Amino acid sequence: MRLDKIPQLKYIDSNNFFLLAGPCAIESEEMAMRIAEKVVEITDKLEIPYVFKGSFKKANRSRIDSFTGIGDEKALKILRKVSETFKIPTITDIHEVSDAAMAAEYVDILQIPAFLVRQTDLVVAAAKTGKTINLKKGQFMSPESMKHAVTKVTDCHNEQVMITDRGTMFGYQDMIVDFRGIPTMREFAPTVLDVTHSLQQPNQSSGVTGGRPEMIETIARAGVVNNVDGIFIETHFDPSTAKSDGANMLDLQYLEALLTRLVKIRKTINEF
């Protein structure tokens, strides 16, 4: 994958990791614009290549009464407005074959959720759009097995593919990150560490996923030290009121300090 193939991605020669960051789901135009504006301000200061992340809908919910979105087209139009306003690329996840062409009209990167990364028809439909594809490693998959998911994309004559590790199931209600998987997956494609989803505590009896946001910096530091190409962080100005995945999000007020420290770590690692 070439970063210069992603429209409007800045600072690709900065030797920094790139950042995928934003809310879990698009809740409103106001919230998306507010988060994007702040993250753009931070990443411009630190010269971090930045892609705004937001799900236009959430399909893999535990409970039927969970928030799933504000409407597909409405949310996708907000993602387009974020891109046009701040001159940055955007990414969203898709869940059905029919989502691929629709979402590709609005965003620059299509993301395949971890639960769906073995779904051949979905991966192929995304690849055939010609957009950059982000394959999230299944919580149930080995790093080595992601080679086959990458091959599904490249066999569609699309070389714009990356892998994101979001942790591996540890028992029924916890996740762990096996950092041995990073160099393995980097042999197949640029590799991102999804810090916040790696700290989820799924399958709670309440039907609402828990999390350990106090460990965000620990996981992020370890990823940067181990040469991940990108960092994925879901962030919100008030995680306690977020309509999806608030339990493991980073409060937006802490993002600048965290990224500042991570950039310093990356600068040091680049010397080795």
d(CA 181, CA 189): 12
**Per the structure block, which two tokens stand in for 34?**
């507010």
**Percentage of the chain lying above the pLDDT 90 cut:** 81
Q: How far apart are CA 132 and CA 224, in angstroms?
A: 22
3-state SS, residue 79? helix
Widest distance between CA atoms in the chain = 50
pLDDT number for residue 64: 63
Q: What is the pLDDT of residue 242?
A: 85
- DSSP code, position 16: P
Which neighbouring-strand residues pair with 191?
Answer: 163
What per-residue confidence (pLDDT) applies to 207?
53
Strand pairing partners for 19? 50, 231
Rg value, the chain, Cα: 17
Band of the pLDDT at 131, cuts 50, 70, 90? Answer: very high
Residue 176 φ/ψ, nearest 5 degrees: -130, 155
List CB contacts of 29: < 8 A, sequence separation 6 or more.
78, 81
User: Residue 123 to residues 43, 76, 113, 131, 163: CA-CA distances in angstroms?
Assistant: 30, 20, 10, 12, 13
**Mean pLDDT over residues 22-36, rounded?**
96
Would you say residue 211 has pLDDT above 70? no
